Amino acid sequence: MTSGGYRAVDLIGRKRDGGELDAEALRWLVDGYLARRVTEGQMAALLMAGVLNGFTDAEARALTDALRHSGETLDLSELDGPVIDKHSTGGVGDDTTLIVSPLLAAAGAQVVKLSGRGLGHTGGTLDKLESIPGFRVDLSPDELRAVAADTGCVVAAQSERLVPGDRAIYALRDVTGTVGSRALIASSVMSKKLAGGADTIVLDVKCGDGAFMTTPEDARALAELCVEIGVEAGRRCTALVTAMDQPLGRSVGNALAVAGCVEAMSAPPSGRLAELALDLACHGLALARGGHPDATREELTRLWRDGAALERLAAMVAAQGGDPSVCDRPREVLAAAPVTREVSARDGGVVAAVPARGIGELAAGLGAGRTHEDDEVDPAVGLELRVEIGDRIERGAPLAVVHARTDAAADRAADELRRLVRVGPDDVPAPPTVLGRRADPR
């Protein structure tokens, strides 16, 4: 198909042969795919050619711009405080958004976070929030701004008019095996962040078994590219590279994740999930204000300890139609699975592996996740882990609690969990959570 002097087949051939596409050609492809002048087969062929031969950083920047301008952008200029957006590249037990957003709001920032749903082994923030009775994620731009102005934070679904090019191409990438490309991930992430309107962006780039980027080198390169794209667009931007070889938090599911976050925020920061959430909030607030992250840690820790962050979460839940008493009585308000099963260790020793991908797939198989985009999720089911890598345990000690719909499902999950969690005789050091930082170079 031809238009504007281009033919899709010629551009596909250029990438197949290792060539580079300029910004005008990439804009034509994105617009043409949305207008159906470029077919699904042609876009799939182009993506595969680019993944096999490599997209350049220049192509990543140009594609970001094309996707960003494929629809509307969100105007947040009327909001008073520094406007911060936080994004994770996905993982298992990664519930930091539910903590970072109200924590930053308690510090006087305004957080506007457009989130997604879970797919495959990764959990989705929207699915977790929708486990709260009445919680609405489909908000208009005016509603987004109003909730942010009133409560300091809002977490909602991406509008169909915001970055439609990314939504269409991502759906195709998901079914054609072209997700794991640094350039494509960077353009997808940053087009949404830039269209979302925040002036400060803090990124959590995952690395390991449960992440798109499996090596620290690839994760650092992705973080650096994302930060460069953000800075070139005039935004303050920083990124942490963090480990996803084991689940970040101990609650893997939807209602379980919400309960876990509320309980974490009801006590002083403790554990890997809490510490990473605090780190992300420190970096975001320091970048927005100017200064070093260490200078914000005491303030944010105090806001956590005195309950101000939990109050902001309750205010956001109420503003988005949910039951704010979830922040007082989470286990009573949230749906509970009819079957719970404690899983005990068959051998004593040191926990050597709690594989994030396997745990995520196990929770999804119970109904907490989805295989296809239109699958329904069960808010009540999932896993509550009792161990992490490096823990020394006795035979018969609890490994996890399974929350399931049926006894048969609970039994299958228990057997699989014992297979996944590896316990050995040798000491294993607890691995670090934060592996590095790629800072705004300004």
Catalogue the active-site residues. Answer: 87, 166, 173, 188, 192
Check if the beta carbon of residue 340 is closer than 8 Å to that of residue 409: no
Nearest alpha-carbon partner for 257 in 144, 96, 386, 121: 96
Check if the beta carbon of residue 355 is closer than 8 Å to that of residue 210: yes
Task: Enumerate residues 6+ apart whose C-beta is below 8 A from 355.
Answer: 209, 210, 245, 246, 420
- For residue 107, the 8-state DSSP code is T
Pairing mode, strands 200-207 and 236-243: parallel
Q: Say how far apart CA 407 and CA 421 lie, in whole Å.
A: 21
Residues forming a β-bridge with 225: none
Q: Say how far apart CA 86 and CA 231 lie, in whole Å.
A: 15
Q: Say how far apart CA 390 and CA 132 lie, in whole Å.
A: 34
Nearest alpha-carbon partner for 421 in 338, 345, 312: 345
DSSP letters for 383-432:
EEE---TT-EE-TT-EEEEEEESSHHHHHHHHHHHHHHSEEESS--PPPP
Instruction: Give me the sheet containing 251-253, strands edge to edge.
Output: 251-253, 382-385, 398-404, 339-344
- Residue 296: both structure tokens together: 């914000």
Pairing mode, strands 339-344 and 392-393: unpaired
